[in-house]
Chain A
Amino acid sequence: MEEPKHIGISFPRKDGEDKVRGILRYLGDKQSPQMLHAALKTSPHAHALISKIDTAEALKALGVRAILTGEDIPGNIGIYIGDKPPLARHKVRHYGEPVAAVVADSEEEAYAALPLIKVEYESLPVIHSPSEALAEDAPLLHEEMKTYTHIPAVIPEPGSNVANRTRIRKGDIESGFKACNTVVEESFSFPPGDHVAMEPRASTAEILDDGQVIIHSTTQAPFVVRNLLSISYNLPVGKITVITFPLGGGFGGKAGIQLEALVYLLSKAVGGRLVRLVNSRENDLVSSPGRTGLEARIRLGCSKEGRLEAAEINYYFDSGAYADYAVNISRAAAIACTGPYAVPNVWCDSLCVYTNHPFATAYRGFGHIELAFAMERAIDLLAEQAGFDLLEFRMINAIRKGDTSPTQSTMDSNTGDLKMCLENVSEMLEWEKGTREEMPDGKVRAKSVTCFWKAPAMPTNADGGVILTFNEDGTVNLHCGAIEIGQGLKTALAQVLAEKLGINPGQVHVVDEVNTRIAPHDWATAASRSLFMIGRALVEAADDAIRQLKQTAAIVLRCPTEDLKVSEGRVFLADEPDIGLPLADVALGYRYPEGNAVQGQVIGSGRYISRRLTEIDPETGKGRPALEWTMGAQGVEVELDPSDGSYRVLKAVCSMDVGKVINPFLARSQVVGGMSMGLGFAGWESFIFNKQGRVINDTLRNYNILRYGEEPEYEVKFVETPQRDGPYGARGLGEQGILGMPGALAGALSGALGRPLNRLPLTPQTIWETGKEGAK
């Protein structure tokens, strides 16, 4: 086989030039004079009854065209459970929840009307954590849970605050623990936080006279939006069009349905006129969804030889006020509950629990960052107690081909080489030189290692499609329903297509905009599945196009199609390369010199649908829910000042088995971006709540993310065990860089401090206090 020309090459980003010139248009950059503008009145309370809303004065304000409150809108929305009114009805369940929306001629007028809306509240007791929500006498957030519609894979428990419970029962947990030489049991936790995509969410809606609904939105999932709007408001799905431009980041936060339902209702309230709603940063942080918090309790045991024998795992996901994606996040965490280790006996209950926190949606890692933090901390504690080196212990237990996952599916020949990843981490961190060193100035340096894995958590029929059209010059247009969100997907796809057609990636034109009326159906740009699934569809589409190109050329060249080859922008006889035609001559049909034309244009199409996936058994979790697993190992080196708990991350390393690297530069960028997000997640990123459950850091001035100059030295090494059903052997890698970092930072700081740190965020104050407790 020939060496690939465009796979494994760092081709420059397709969207690079537009981005550095500042001319790429995002949705918020597009305004037109006919637009009306919306603004949200939000709740200052975390849990309260709405006793009265008076909009009379606000309605009189200049420029105001309509005001909606929860009472005006029947019905709920929700991707898995229909539990959320687009505007709070009767009561508010979290700080920042929208209670009314104003539509006005200008944004200024819409905002100016907000203080004129008078809302009276009666405070209710606030639930601050999953454990409070699970207490016997806890107030119920959703008294009407019984009446909510939900998908079968999610099992809410009416009469409680449990939105979903997923059970994993593998082997025999009691006899498993009996075989153990060492057992540890510990709790781990972190509060909820936010994605902080730099582009705040935005949506517009317009209802045309013939009933067509046109939505523009900053969504990672335009087809999901279309489908849920159709179901929620009884609209024919074909009459809804959802259009998405490139996104200014999403990290899961723009998946599912968000502002679209409300902005549709607002348009309806003004006779279908075009209404635009753009989140302020404050609304983006607390009114729109963030990420889950977690409380976990893990009992973990190993044999004398250091083999994991039994894991008893309780995950309590803090979903906040509404379920959104969190009910599937808790499920995904159950499916992957042990991390990438071979554990014969597993008992896991993973619960999604309502609290009075801002609600949570998908977030980079989707349950796997949460479980990785808890499990990796537990592994560290067990390995230390049993007297094993932390890296050696992971080597002993790393999952391999032939082992079974927590859902009892056998790891196949596509299973990544986790041991190789661990070896790479060991090398990058110079593990053999020691993992803890006291410096002359009193500071302490320490290293850590963690492992991670992730499979897409998606419907068993998640799919994607590609259509290829050609231009007069033989260049190709690539159409698909996946969104460019910064990951560089369309550049990587152009490389795959260039490889298939034997052309240059520069001769592939990608389309930035996705329009659900034009693009082939696509599940969603989520779960790190786009390169795999759209890549597969693209390979099929390219083969289809090649077949058609050959058919046309075979007529002109008077030869069998099977003797032809497509490469270097030509179609020619494989054994007599001089005899052939440029693609430009056959791509739109061949025209003979006298004018006759044959065959017509080439339109290549391809599709992919997930292969052989099943739901999991509700009692045991048995099933095959994972399309592919991407796994790897990470570690950090920190320098801690024990006198005040301050620290620096000196180095962060990652080795990941991605099957095949399509574009090394873009792949590394994705991984490093994930790692930096993971360090912030662990170090300081979280909402801070007061006693009333209000978020007191709801601006970017006090909700801190990593800043320039705080980054460590990053090092990344890829391992390539082919994913044989992936395009050129590739599997997903967009999210995975984040997964092991929280455990790694906590592990290294615990090592430096000499005391376990099992709660995030790892602020200097927490570290200092933990150190002081240890000294007592």
Chain B
Amino acid sequence: MKAYRDIATITLDINGEERRVVVRPADTLLRVLREKVGLTGAKPGCENGDCGACTVLLDGLPVKSCLKLALEAVGKKIITIEGLKDTAIQKAFMEEGGFQCGYCTSGFLVNAYALLEKHPSSKSGADREWLESNLCRCTGYEGISRAIDKARDIIKEYK
């Protein structure tokens, strides 16, 4: 493992693009994505790992980017909400009312996307375990839960 002492230039693989950025060792992945790369889809809601609004994928697994250093993401494939285009879960969120104010939406969508990749079959017991790490204040989760079901239907149909 490489040790970093001072400001360093690193290369991150973000949504399939290689991005060279200058970071402090203490910079979180969330801050680097938002402030150095300009991808503001991942949101700071607590910067303490409690709300999930900053969720991104590292090698296909959801992580809270406020709890990851940017340095830890070197060599891994980062997917942010901006990297998801026309996916079943985005369509389902629109149709089923998976959001209102939209602030938690990026994190929920990214997490739900990974959930459906890992657990595509119907009504997985993993849903709650995965998604209770994200907070939404607007919807009461009804729309989000319906959207997950709908996205599973869309994916099944497509296959």
Q: Which residues of A contact B (CB under 8 A)?
A: 12-13, 15-26, 28-29, 31, 108, 195-200, 246-249, 251, 280-281, 485-488, 665-666, 669-670, 672-673, 675-677, 699-701, 705-711, 714
Contacts and interface: CB of A to CB of B under 8 A. Distances in A.
Interface stretch (B6-14, B69-77, B136-144): B136-144
A180 to B, nearest CB: 39
Interface in B111-159: 127-128, 131-132, 134-145
A677 B140 contact: yes
A248 B103 contact: yes
B45 A20 contact: no
B19 to A, nearest CB: 17
Nearest to B98: A20
A700 B47 contact: no
A669 B97 contact: yes
Interface of B: 24, 34-35, 40-51, 53, 80-82, 84-85, 90, 93-95, 97-106, 109, 127-128, 131-132, 134-145
B131 A709 contact: yes
Contacts of B53: 198
B137 A677 contact: yes
A29 B34 contact: yes
Contacts of A31: 35
Given A16-B94, A20-B109, A707-B132, A673 B44 contact: no
B85 to A, nearest CB: 8
Contacts of B131: 708-709
B45 A708 contact: no
B135 A705 contact: yes
Given A249-B137, A677-B140, A699-B50, A709 B128 contact: yes
Contacts of A22: 40-42, 80-82, 84, 105-106, 109
Given A20-B98, A21-B81, A198-B136, 18 more contacts: A13-B94, A15-B102, A19-B99, A22-B84, A31-B35, A197-B103, A198-B104, A199-B43, A199-B103, A281-B45, A486-B101, A486-B138, A488-B100, A669-B100, A669-B139, A670-B100, A708-B127, A708-B141
Contacts of A281: 45-48, 50-51
7 contacts: A16-B99, A195-B137, A197-B103, A198-B104, A246-B101, A699-B48, A706-B140
Contacts of B105: 19-20, 22
A21 B90 contact: yes
Interface centre among B46, B48, B82, by most chain A C-beta atoms within 10 angstroms, is B46
A706 B141 contact: yes
A26 B82 CA distance: 15
Contact of A200 (B41, B44, B84): B44
Given A22-B81, A26-B103, A709-B131, A197 B137 contact: yes
A705 B141 contact: no
Contact of A708 (B46, B97, B134, B137): B134
Nearest to B93: A20
